[in-house]
Structure formats: structure tokens, C-alpha cells
Amino acid sequence: MTRGATLVEKVIARAAGLPGVTPGQLVVAKVDLAFAHDSSGARRWKPILDALGVGVWDPDKVALVNDHYAPAADAETAGFLKLTRDFAREQGIENLFDMVGISHLVLPDAGLIRPGAFIAGGDSHTPMAGAFGAYAAGYGATDMAAIVATGETWLSVPSTIRIEWSGAFAPFVVAKDVMLHLTREVGMDNGFRAVEFAGDAVEAMSMHARMVLCNMAAELGAETGVVAPDAVTFNYLARVGRPVENESAARALASDPDAVFERVWRFRAEDLGPQIAAPHSPGNTGPVGDYSGVRIDQAYIGACMGAKVDDLRMAAEVLRGRKVAPGVRLLIAPASRETFETASREGVLSDLITAGALMMPSGCGACAGYGGGVLADGEICISSTNRNFKGRMGSGEAQVYLGSPYSVAAAAVAGSIVDPRLLMTQGAR
């Protein structure tokens, strides 16, 4: 008797040209999209491809994004950006996104992330694309060079952990709080596993919120994170001009009722409050009240999953009618140019700037320790980013706390970590 298949197994089986796959099985999969940024892409690939005397297997299935070193801070990083541009031109790669935002957001906004696709990315947060029902995993530079040369990669089919959230989240509790909670409860050592997010609370989330879940599957140590495609997915892709042609086939990617999961975790949304991760690990998480009163020097809203337009709206909701506390720097780096433009049209940018926020270029910036916003010895920051490893945002002697955009904005106003729900009941300053 055959068993049902998980979403991940279905996508991998199609990519491998097999009727079905099982966890632990070694397969060779054809890649639908390979991408990398200026730090991991052309400057790593070109020497290998040149030595082999080959180019990319299919320029239409390769995308490059200048986001880590953008805008360039010195001649060396300017060279990395130029090398990416030159490589794209030489290889006939039209999907070059040059300083218009972070790869994990600009690619779906360009409609390049499709349900059921097998995606290989030169970045550990590639799983963010799994929010569209794709299998998306990060690979190192050597593996990526082989992938762009051949269009294929081998993998061991991961088992799937299913995480279900039921009910409705309370006000000011969002996807970032979910993932910080899970890094503690589920742990960060889930190698060779995929994580499927499900339940009516997940189904009610926007695509941007689902992207947060899948992005931070990397913090769970998983190969990827996925959410089954549904009307929310289809509406998003239609909005960006790349509608799904066969919605029935996309819906059929959902895990079968009799699919076998390694484990199923179940949580109630109403039980969750705002969460904060203390230095130096996302798994060092607890309720915001555990960290109330921790003084901060800097608040940072940025990165692929922490500065989307939904995130800027959250921050503006807190900051509207309030001011950033004296002695605190609030830095905001929108995740893409489109995010910046949308926030500007909606008046969100005006709210942020009026409150005292400093707007920064779109890009990875301080999240990856590049560009403006890095920290000095002894400084304390609260950030909407996905990682707070020692030294990641500058000095190894700095301390970084993680929270949702609500929590980051609230701390910027209070001058210390505070429950955003308490701040919002106090009225405008």
C-alpha cells in the first residue's frame, strides 16, 4: 500500500522525474531557478566556470542580485558589484536585479518564485521562497557553481516536520514572534529536515508573514520551510503580474491527508505573546516581559524578512504621534525599492521620519555586518533581523536582541525593551 506524500516530497519527485520519493532517498533534481547575490554569486562562480571552460546552463533560469554590498562603500565592494553586472552581461542573464532590493524579496516580486518549483540559492535564507509552495534550499559557492553549470543537483530527500498553528494571534503578535518562539521550542538543530507550516492561523497570514516563517526555517536548522499554495499565494502572484495558470495543480501540491511526517507540533495562536531573543542566538528567546527595561543604543528595522512593507507599516503604527527616545538611533533599511515606494505613497515613510527614524538604502546592510548601521564595542541593539550571532552586526562586543517590528519600534520610543502592547495603551507622546 502506497502512502501519501508531503508537499516537499511532491516537489522533489517532480524535479527528479520520479513517481515518488521517500525521506533519505538520494536523487538528482533538475533546478527550475538558481540565484545568488553579489557576495556569493559571480565572484565565486566565475573562477570555477572559467577553469572548467563552461558557462551557465540556461541564462533564463539564473538570477543575480546586487544587495549585500549595495551601495558600495569602497573600491573593493564596488568591484564586486561591477563583476556581477559584467558576468550577467557575458552570460546573457537578463534577471539581474541591481541595487533594487534584497534577493529574497525582489525575486518573488518579479514573479520568479513559482509554486512547485525546485530552487537553489547561494544564501542560507533561500528557504523564504518556500512560502510559495516551492522547495528552496541554500547551497555553498562550489555547489552553486556546479548547479549553474549543469542545471542539476543531488540531494537526500529530507523528512518533514509539520508545525500547525490554530486560532488567531492577538494584536501586536506576528510571524516574527512565532519564529522566535519556535527556535526555542522546536530548537535550532533540525538538519536534513524540512518544516511545513500549516493550520488555520497560518492560512490567515499574508504572503509577507508566510515569508517570515519560511525564511527563519533556516534558524531552525532546516533544509527548507514550506507553506501550501492557496488563494493568498495566487493573489500575490497575480498582483505582481505573474498569475498561476493552473491553480488546481498548485493546490494539489499540498501534503496528502495520509502523508507521513517525522513529527507534528501543534500550537495555539492565542497563547503566544511578543517574543524577544537575547544575545547571541535566536534560540535564546523568551516573552518580552523577561527583557523589559534593557537599555538600547540602536533599533534596526531591516533585512530580507524584517523590512518588508508590512513591517514598515507595523513600525509606523507604533511611531505615529511619538518620537524616538533621546540617545537612541532608529535605522530603517526598506527591503526593496518597491517597498520604499509603496511606503512613501501610503505616508508610512513620513510617519517614520517624523518620529526620528533615519532611512537607509535598500540592501542587506547592517544585518550582514556590511555598510552603515554596524555596532561598536559595548553597544546594544534591538533588530527585526533573523540572526543575532556574536559579531554579526559589527563588533563582537556588541549585543543584539531580536524582536518583531512592533517590538523594535516600541523600544526605539521607550529607549529600552518594552512590551509594545503596553506602549500602545499609553497614547501618543
Which tens digit of pLDDT belongs to each residue from 383-403?
Answer: 999 999 888 888 899 999 999
d(CA 294, CA 63): 42
Same domain, 290 and 260: no
Beta bridge partners of 156: 26
Single residue among 250, 268, 286 that ends a domain in this structure? 268
Does 428 have pLDDT greater than 60?
Answer: no
Residue 342 maps to a domain: yes
Same domain, 174 and 311: no
Same domain, 83 and 191: yes
Same domain, 136 and 61: yes
Q: What are the tens digits of pLDDT across the range 270-322?
A: 999 999 999 999 999 999 999 999 999 999 999 999 999 999 999 999 999 99
Instruction: Please state the domain count of the chain.
Output: 2
Does 207 have pLDDT greater than 80?
Answer: yes
346: left (phi over 0), alpha (psi -120 to 50) or beta: alpha
Same domain, 37 and 173: yes
Q: What percent of the chain has pLDDT over 70?
A: 99
Tell me the pLDDT band of 365, cut-offs 50, 70 and 90: confident
Single residue among 236, 268, 300 that ends a domain in this structure? 268
* Per-residue model confidence (pLDDT) at position 427: 59
Does 2 have pLDDT greater than 80?
Answer: no
* Per-residue model confidence (pLDDT) at position 8: 98
Average pLDDT (75-87) is: 96
Domain holding 391, by residue range, is 274-424
Same domain, 36 and 151: yes
Same domain, 308 and 400: yes
Q: Which residue has the higher pLDDT, 365 or 10?
A: 10
Residue 429 maps to a domain: no
Q: Is the peptide bond before 280 cis (omega within 30 degrees of 0)?
A: yes
DSSP 3-state of 270: helix
Cβ density class 183-211: b for 16+ within 10 Å, e for less: bbebebebeebbbbbbbebbeebbbbbbb
Single residue among 247, 268, 289 that ends a domain in this structure? 268
Query: What are phi and psi for residue 238, nearest 5 degrees?
Result: -65, -40
Domain containing residue 141: CATH number: 3.30.499.10
Does 73 have pLDDT greater than 50?
Answer: yes
Could you tell me if 8 and 222 are in contact, meaning their C-beta atoms sit under 8 angstroms apart? no
Q: What are the tens digits of pLDDT across the range 123-155?
A: 999 999 999 999 999 999 999 999 999 999 999
Q: pTM above 0.85?
A: yes
Same domain, 128 and 245: yes
d(CA 193, CA 394): 31
Q: Which amino acid is at 160?
A: T
* Per-residue model confidence (pLDDT) at position 372: 82
Residue 2 maps to a domain: no
